[in-house]
Amino acid sequence: MRNVKTTLLYHWFDEVWNKDDANAIDRLMTSTATAKGVVADDQPSGPAGFKIFFNDFRSQFHNVKVEVEEAIAQDDIETARTSVSAIHTKSGKPVNFSGMCMVRVADGKIAEAWNNYDFLNLYQQLGQKLSPTE
């Protein structure tokens, strides 16, 4: 049986998100890391770019809890299936959504990340609707 607690991704989600430790971003991510799906291409790479996303999300939500439901690691790649719960700060409404993250590990740190989280579901829970732009 796999032990998710032995993976870098488990430590990432636990320290960065569950313990709200922004300093863990610097400890667990390389200075040139990319984070597709959460950091825009025109933003800085590495911890500086990820902290833009982290701080923005934290300004909108509190009591963030990320549960790593499953994690698989092979060679320099790890993947985690997660469930996220949080409280929307402005409305006080609880939200839950799921997602997956895959990372390439270099020197014990995240060097590249690919994120696929159901942010549409998240914002629909807050009453926002998807509408086409003209």
Q: How big is the chain by its Cα radius of gyration, in Å?
A: 15
Other Cβ atoms closer than 10 A to 92: 8
Mean pLDDT confidence for 12-38: 97
Has residue 120 been placed in a domain?
yes
Q: What is the pLDDT of residue 133?
A: 74
Structural domain for 55, as ranges: 4-125
The answer on pLDDT for 132 being more than 60 is yes
Has residue 85 been placed in a domain?
yes
Has residue 16 been placed in a domain?
yes
Confidence bin at 9 (pLDDT 50/70/90):
very high
Average pLDDT of the chain, as a whole number: 95
Has residue 86 been placed in a domain?
yes
Measure Cα distances from 77 to 9, 69, 74, 99, 133 in Å.
Answer: 10, 17, 5, 17, 37
Question: At 40, which CATH number?
Answer: 3.10.450.50
Has residue 83 been placed in a domain?
yes
Has residue 131 been placed in a domain?
no
Has residue 132 been placed in a domain?
no
The answer on pLDDT for 24 being more than 60 is yes
Domain tally, the chain: 1
Confidence bin at 120 (pLDDT 50/70/90):
very high
Angstrom distance (rounded) from CA 4 to CA 12: 12
Name 56's Cβ contacts closer than 8 Å, sequence gap at least 6.
none
Return the half-sphere exposure (C-beta side, CA atoms, 13 A cut-off) of residue 30.
Answer: 15
